[in-house]
Amino acid sequence: MMAPALLGYFITRRANRNFADFTAPGNIALILGLLAAGELVGDKLPNTPNRTEPLGLIARIASGALVGGFVCRKQKKSILNGITLGAAAAVAAAYAGENMRREISERTGIPSALLGAVEDAAAIGLGVSALQKL
């Protein structure tokens, strides 16, 4: 949910805010932000399934495709390429993040939840940096 939440934030900054309208960009950004915050917390819980299990992976693919398509549309590039690259990046990030987190935790003894918080901070920083160029 981080990528759609960040995208929602940047769309809101550029749009007129009408908080009385549920579909107004500010409200959508708020909802996406709350969902992303919930995911940040839920992801650290011990019973949370791996991000590479089907339901989590499908959600990541959908959010990556959505954001990739939007970014390419904004850049006047192929939306289909954006959707494809966004989905592929989501899959790659899911597997890379899970494997790196597990490997570092096993080798160093650093709790996986702490590594997850570092990973979240990096994702937020990279996302903000990328979207500022739009």
Domain that holds residue 69: 2-131
The alpha carbon of 5 is separated from its chain's Cα centroid by a whole number of angstroms, namely 7
> pLDDT for 46-91, tens place per residue?
888 888 999 989 999 999 999 999 989 988 999 999 999 999 999 9
> pLDDT for 114-124, tens place per residue?
998 999 999 89
Give the chain's domain count. 1
Its pTM stands at: 0.80
